[in-house]
Chain A
């Protein structure tokens, strides 16, 4: 599982402002500014599915996503390359040929198939990866020519669960991290043991019996879709959800609940007033 990655070219002044905020412990301001840059800067590049293949192909040749950290928490990775480091990266990327990258891609990107019913997102084909790589190389080349620093921004896999605390009024409250889709996205590993072929027992037995494949999941509701009953379920120590179809008394399709809807479901479990922490 990898998350979208954004690179932003910054002036030295913008970069030192981020460093100063970070040094003074003001990570919330760093994150707010970086989020804003990630959607509004004219000199930015976002890479989604192709990032992980690119990163893995470059391991052992030139590290990507490196640099000085300007963020003290574990839920996001925010690092800065100074202008010299950005130029070094630009030079390294400029040397990469399509044939070289293809060879590494074929060596390193043959994914194992999940035994469960829900497969990870389709692996990017090499053409798409090369196109993204070319954009990345072009981005670094422009940053290098303009002597810019380069910001690297992505969500990490670290999940911050909500916690209970006593508020200033003496009452209990829930402190919940601000919504981050990654915190409510199904971990594919949790689906590995689920059957792709309908299972071996009647649907309700799969849910309720100790040996049922869905026994470790907890039902939170039922609804109708396509004229069939679906059961919405979650698992302990996480705030993501799956929908499981009852297909003629067997497990049918299993779908991941949208992270935003999962946030809503998680919020419904809060028993006390909620404050958001960024």
Chain B
């Protein structure tokens, strides 16, 4: 999976189209992308893959690891069933639960899991520079979860594949 990951938050009460099938889901996400309100989005770039692996037991499996940490990237409800795109929906309660769990993580905890990724089949870079980039993206994503939880907003995670 080599696409770029973005979390978007939106007002509670919006996003009903996400349940109306792939085309409607995609249209909703396209609308968020077109709007590109940087106050309400956070890019994880390609780091969403190793971040998810660190939070979810080392693999990119949908069901890997434990809730709520495994929910930050590939958790919640899948809203697109095609293979070319990922759209995962988290309601405001999910966001708050995940934010609380992410708050407790330390860099040594994350570092141990990152450098163990090759043992789980991860083929990306796992040197110091890659770790620095992944941790930086993780810190921003975690802060975005906290802000979004404070605001009581749901979010979607999106990535093209």
A residues adjacent to B (C-beta < 8 A): 35, 39-40, 176, 178-179, 223-227, 258, 260-261, 263-264, 267-268, 274, 276
Given the complex of chains A and B, what is the CA–CA distance between A268 and B39 in angstroms?
Answer: 20
A219→B128 CA distance, assembly (Å): 24
Residue of A nearest to B37 (CB): A39
A274 & B139 in contact (Cβ 8 Å cutoff): no
Q: In the complex, which range does the number of interface residues on chain B fall in? A: 20 to 34
- Once the chains bind, are A260 and B107 in contact (CB under 8 Å)? no
For the complex, what is the distance from the CA of A215 to the CA of B143, rounded to whole Å? 28
Min C-beta distance of B14 to chain A, whole Å: 13
In B52-111, the 8 Å CB interface with A consists of: 103, 107, 111
The residue of chain A having its C-beta at the shortest distance from the C-beta of B34 within the complex is: A40
Closest B residue to A268 by beta carbon equals: B103
Report the Cα distance A179→B103, complex, angstroms: 17
In the bound complex, residues from chain A placing their C-beta under 8 Å from that of B111 are 224
Does any Cβ of A come within 8 Å of B20's Cβ? Answer: no
Q: How far is the CB of A271 from chain B (nearest CB, A)?
A: 14
Contact yes or no, B132 A179, CB < 8 A: no
Known: A224-B107, A224-B111, A225-B132. A267 touches B140 (CB 8 A): no
Give Cα A227–Cα B144 distance, bound, in whole angstroms: 26
CB < 8 Å neighbour of B35 from A40, A179, A261 = A40
Given the interface pairs A224-B107, A225-B132, A226-B132, the reply to whether A274 lies near B150 with Cβ below 8 Å is yes
Complex alpha-carbon distance, A184 and B47, angstroms = 25
User: Quick one: given A225-B132, A260-B143, are A39 and B35 in contact (CB under 8 Å)?
Assistant: yes
Inter-chain CA distance A224–B107, complex, in Å, is 8
A-B contact pairs, 21 of them (CB 8 A): A35-B39, A178-B151, A179-B147, A179-B150, A223-B135, A224-B111, A225-B132, A226-B128, A226-B132, A227-B128, A258-B139, A260-B42, A260-B144, A264-B103, A264-B139, A264-B142, A264-B143, A264-B146, A264-B147, A274-B150, A276-B150
Cβ contact of A267, chosen from B39, B107, B139, B146, cutoff 8 A:
B146
Q: Separation in Å of the A40 CB from the closest CB of chain B?
A: 7
For B114-142 the 0/1 string (1 means CB < 8 A from A) is: 00000000000000110010010001101
Complex CA gap A225/B136 in Å reads 10
List residues of chain A with CB within 8 A of the CB of B42: 260
* Chain A proximity of B124: nearest CB distance (Å): 19
If A224-B111, A260-B147, A264-B147 are given as contacts, then 10 extra A-B residue pairs at C-beta distance below 8 Å, sorted by A number, are A179-B150, A179-B151, A225-B135, A227-B128, A260-B42, A260-B143, A261-B140, A263-B143, A263-B146, A264-B142
